[in-house]
Amino acid sequence: TLRLSHPSGDLAWVSLSRRADTMNQLVLCMLLLLALGELAGACPAGCQCQDPKTILCAARRGQTVPQGLPPNTLSLYVFENGITMLSEDSFAGLPALQLLDLSQNKITSIQKNIFQPLTELRAVTAAGNPFNCICQMSWLVQWVNASSVVLRRPEETRCHFPPKNSGKLLHHLQYADFGCPTTTTTTPPTTPRTATLPPALLPTSSFWGDSAELGGVGKWLGWGHMGKGLEQA
């Protein structure tokens, strides 16, 4: 405690004490602002991250998957974003991701093993993309049929190119249908699996807010199709 021997020392001490309190308050405010800035930085521009484990990027305009996502993200919705391609690092740093929605984008092809880093992945939605179903895409059907990952909205996941495959369901194509060299082994078409995801993976109504503001989120997410899958399960 600082006290001055001057006759007006008491007043000076009070003034210094008040200044110290003011400085402490300013420091606390700065620390709080920094903390809030770090939290905000974890949510990409154009996305909603009200639930830290569920990230919604509806109608976000960008040709790539948003980067810098929290590593504990469980569900990522990046539908109707204008994404044209997926790179090897599109899903890097997301080891816990279980649900991925890439629907209604402009993706024509998906590289082999693009989902390899997602060891916990359980469901993928790729409906509404203009897929070019040539040999480079044949691995995706084989991977879906062989893995435990569920392809959601399969009836809306169709080929746009080449002309011979236009309009065909992606998961119904045989290896040779992709224009690949003919082999003696063929993979028969299978019915896509359906599964019930834990409630924690599905955003609550409060998370979505006004559905009108999101431009028909329910339509793109295909809740109706999911409901049918649950009734059949």
pLDDT in tens, 174-193: 999 999 987 655 555 555 55
pTM score over 0.75 = no
pLDDT in tens, 64-119: 999 888 899 999 999 999 999 998 889 999 999 999 999 999 999 999 989 989 99
- Model confidence at 5, pLDDT cuts 50, 70, 90, reads low
Looking at residue 131, its pLDDT comes to 97
- Model confidence at 136, pLDDT cuts 50, 70, 90, reads very high
Taking the C-alpha atoms of residue 191 and residue 232, their distance in angstroms, rounded to an integer, is 13
- Model confidence at 226, pLDDT cuts 50, 70, 90, reads very low
Q: Which H or E run contains 56?
A: strand 54-56
Mean pLDDT of the chain: 75
Looking at residue 45, its pLDDT comes to 82
Looking at residue 63, its pLDDT comes to 87
Looking at residue 220, its pLDDT comes to 43
Domain ranges within the chain, ordered by starting residue: 42-189
Diameter over CA atoms, the chain: 104
56: tokens are 């919604």
Q: Which H or E run contains 52?
A: none
**Is domain 42-189 classified as CATH 3.40.190.10?**
no
pLDDT in tens, 154-171: 999 999 999 999 999 999
Looking at residue 19, its pLDDT comes to 62
Taking the C-alpha atoms of residue 136 and residue 3, their distance in angstroms, rounded to an integer, is 80
Three-state DSSP state, 226: helix
53: Cβ contacts below 8 Å, ≥ 6 apart: 70, 72, 73, 74, 75, 200
Percent of the chain with pLDDT over 90: 45
207: Cβ contacts below 8 Å, ≥ 6 apart: 48, 50, 51, 54, 56
94: tokens are 């997301």
66: Cβ contacts below 8 Å, ≥ 6 apart: 44, 45, 46, 47, 55, 57, 60, 78
- Model confidence at 22, pLDDT cuts 50, 70, 90, reads low
Looking at residue 189, its pLDDT comes to 57
Q: Which of 17, 20, 19 is nearest to 3 (CA)?
A: 17
